[in-house]
Structure formats: C-alpha cells, structure tokens
Amino acid sequence: QSALTQPRSVSGSPGQSVTISCTGTSSDVGGYNYVSWYQQHPGKAPKLMIYDVSKRPSGVPDRFSGSKSGNTASLTISGLQAEDEADYYCCSYAGSHTWVFGGGTKLTVL
Amino acid sequence: EVQLVESGGGLVQPGGSLRLSCAASGFTFSSYSMNWVRQAPGKGLEWVSSISSSSTYIYYADSLKGRFTISRDNAKNSLYLQMNSLRAEDTALYYCVAYSSSSSAFDIWGQGTMVTVSS
C-alpha cells in the first residue's frame, strides 16, 4: 500500500487553470474507476471534491474536473479563485477492501 | 446537520493504549460503512480501517499489524477505534469518516481527534 504520487506543490494566477496529477499503479488507480479528490484548508477536515474519477458531488463548482489515463489520475481546476488555495489529496481503491491516498499537493494562488 | 464528532485522543506513552470514539448525527449512521483515516502532523492522509454497516466486514491497513480494532454500535450511532501497543509513528490526527456506496468515496468527515504518542 504505497502512497500515490502527487507533485508537492502547484501554483497559478487567478483565472488560470491548474492540473494536479496522481500517479499510482495498475493495482490501484489503473485498476479501478474509484478515484476521488479531497480539498483540505489549513486546520480543517478534508472535503470531497471529485468521486468515481470525474463526478462532482452537489455543491462543488464545475470549475473542478477529474480524469484518468492509465495509472495516472488528474484534477483540473479552471478559473482559479483565491479560495481554491488549499491542499489537495487523491485517493484510490487499492483492492482487497483497502484504500490508498496520495501524498498531497499544495495549491498556491498567486 | 450532518455531523461526526470524534473524542478520546490525548497523550499516551509508547506501548500504551487509547480508545477513540466517534458520535454521528444528522444521517442514517447504520446505513454507512465507516472508516478511520489519520494524518500525521504536516503529512498526508492515511486510510487506517473500515467497518461495514452491520459490522460484518472489517478491514485494516497492513501497517497496523493487528494493533488496532475497529467497532461500532448502531444503536448508539457510534464508531470506535481501540489502539494498543502505540508507537511514536501513530502520532496523528484521527478522522472518523463515512463512506458513501453511492459515490464510492469518503463523503462525511469529522474534525478529528489528536493522538500523541510520546514519553
């Protein structure tokens, strides 16, 4: 159960788009369409932003989108806003009823 | 209001034990699979354990090596985590999390309870 690989940090200016990658293996990301993304502001609990690779829970802006290709999933945030600055974590089902998270990516809005 | 409230964290010596609790409200607790997810200070999230809605199925992260036990009481809308033989590396904020089968994701999160293992 090795953690999924995410970039430590990404940044973008307001209005721009950024993409955060999440790389796993064929035993997790590549093997199942159960990838989810979580947003975590400092001192707060994580919040579900994307589930089943590309679906958005109600209330999440459509600026947030998810995709997957092979063993790599991606979260794209378009039209960056100041409140998007946070840590983002990907998560994947890893088989045998276990789950694995990514190491997290700090998004800075310049 | 949908809510998960953890309690039971604190400072414990290496080798000691602690029991975490999580009280659920505002949703049908007995219909959800429940989980514990932890976050070491300044680090990422780590899935710890899950228990099915009726306690039939229980799973743990390999790294725990039998030291933790998850349980639930649907009559009390409560989730528990018994932690034994605690190590410094178990120091973390422990989140109680509800898993939604409709979204295949961790849908509802508590605010966490801090466990510090230190002499």
Predicted confidence at residue A74, as pLDDT, reads 98
Residues of chain A numbered 3-32 and touching chain B (CB < 8 Å): 3
Please check whether residue A80 touches B, CB under 8 A. no
Task: Name every chain A residue with its beta carbon within 8 A of the beta carbon of B107.
Answer: 48, 57
Q: What is the mean pLDDT of residues A92-101?
A: 95
Nearest Cα residue in chain A from B96: A45
- A40-60, pLDDT tens digit by residue? 999 999 999 999 999 999 999
Which tokens sit at A1? 């159960």
Of chain A, the percentage scoring pLDDT greater than 90 comes to 97
The answer to whether B47 and A101 are in contact (CB under 8 A) is yes
Residues of chain B short of pLDDT 50, as ranges, are none
Among A34, A99, A101, the residue with its CB nearest the CB of B44 is: A101
- Contacts with B58 (C-beta within 8 Å, 6 or more apart), sequence order: B49, B50, B51, B52, B70
How would DSSP label each residue in A39-97?
A: EE-TTS--EEEEBTTTB--TTS-TTEEEEEETTEEEEEE-S--GGG-EEEEEEEE-STT
Predicted confidence at residue B111, as pLDDT, reads 97
Task: Name every chain B residue with its beta carbon within 8 A of the beta carbon of A101.
Answer: 37, 44-47
